Structure 1
Amino acid sequence: MTEIDNSGVDQPKGISRRTVTKAMAWSVPAVAVAASVPAYAASPGIITLDGRACKLPGRSNDTYKGYAFGIIVTNPYNVPITVTITNIELGGSTLAPFTIVNLDGCTLVGTSGVVPAMTTLDNLVVLTSDAADSANDILSANYTITGGPGGSEEISAAVPVTPPVNGASCDDFTTAEKDCLETFVVPAT
């Protein structure tokens, strides 16, 4: 006897694919797992390091024993968000004090700033002072987000070779950008 489906086409004898599929669905237990995950967890992060880095060594300028790290801040949400950097460490040593400088216009932002909805700020620099040493290591930063989904995130990346910002050895920043960075004294915490 031949099994016929609704289309009127003859099916081969034996077990149908539909029967096998039904059996498989019942043989695997259904487990529902719910986890509280912030909406931005799947994104690469609000703040990313862009790979630019230079040292501010010794007493060569007003910012003593510091670093300049290029960052990109992205707000993928339809509402403004406030991003506050709460901590920066290099190789486990805290880099404080620190501030953010917007190289577009050479303006001091501070440790917190509002990012308009659906905006990327791609010419920012975290400027630090009073580093324990000038070694290249793993840089990590913690920051909070107010508005949008809220919450906090952490970034971590290996710091590239960081030549002194003075002179020609640091070519990650233009001459005008280096001149801008050298005008700021990182406020004490």
Structure 2
Amino acid sequence: MSETEQGGVSRRTVTKAMAWAVPAVAVASTVPVAAASEVPVTLTGVGCKEPGNPKFYRFQVVITNDNNSSVTVYFDSFTVNGVNKTPVDPTSTTVPPFTQRTITVRAGTFADSANGTATLFYTLNGMSDSTSTAFNDLPPTTGHGAGCLLQVFPYQVDVPL
């Protein structure tokens, strides 16, 4: 008997279709995640503190997108010496294909401006990660902060790869 004489599609036909469809879906869904995991996000250690109390910090972040599609990095929170703060300004950035973006992120308010460790928590293509740096003697953004490389906020520059 043929499938049409039985009044439906045979189990064998359904099984063949599934055998082809399932692997194709699995392979297609892993490609963007693998590509995104290779986009480094680096907290460089270049930073400044804003004067006043409570304190805000500014830190330089470098994102290198050597993929052929844009990637969006969401800045989730910022921790300085164990104190976690949200939101981070800006909250996200989209980096074009084959581009290295240097961007300044700002977070606060912190009770003091002690030296120590900063950690930026971010999400890239649905995967959470973090980048950390130690810092010491950060210059202020005004007054004696002439040595601060992050005077202008927001700051962003793109360099083609």
**1:81-160 pair list within 5 angstroms:** 81-99=71-89, 110-122=90-102, 124-146=103-125, 151-160=127-136
Q: How many residues align?
A: 123
Using the size of structure 1 for normalisation, the TM-score is 0.56
Kindly indicate whether residue 153 of structure 2 is the aligned counterpart of residue 181 of structure 1. yes
What CA distance in whole angstroms lies between the structure 2 residues aligned with 1:41 and 1:96?
Answer: 24
What CA distance in whole angstroms lies between the structure 2 residues aligned with 1:127 and 1:77?
Answer: 27
Q: Which has the higher helix share?
A: 2
Q: Does structure 2 retain, via aligned residues, the 8 Å contact 1:96–1:130?
A: no
1:41 is displaced (CA, Å) by: 9.0
Q: Which runs of 4+ in 1 moved over 3 A?
A: 38-43
What CA distance in whole angstroms lies between the structure 2 residues aligned with 1:126 and 1:115?
Answer: 15
SS at match of 1:152: strand
Equivalent AA in structure 1 for residue 153 of structure 2 = L
SS at match of 1:58: coil
What CA distance in whole angstroms lies between the structure 1 residues aligned with 2:146 and 2:114?
Answer: 15
Q: Which has the higher strand share?
A: 2
What CA distance in whole angstroms lies between the structure 2 residues aligned with 1:49 and 1:66?
Answer: 16
**Structure 2 unaligned regions, length at least 5:** 1-32, 155-161
Kindly indicate whether residue 48 of structure 2 is the aligned counterpart of residue 48 of structure 1. no
Kindly indicate whether residue 143 of structure 2 is the aligned counterpart of residue 167 of structure 1. yes
Distance change in 2, residues 1:41/1:119 (3 Å): closer
Identity of aligned residues (%): 32
Which residue number in structure 2 is paired with residue 69 of structure 1?
A: 59
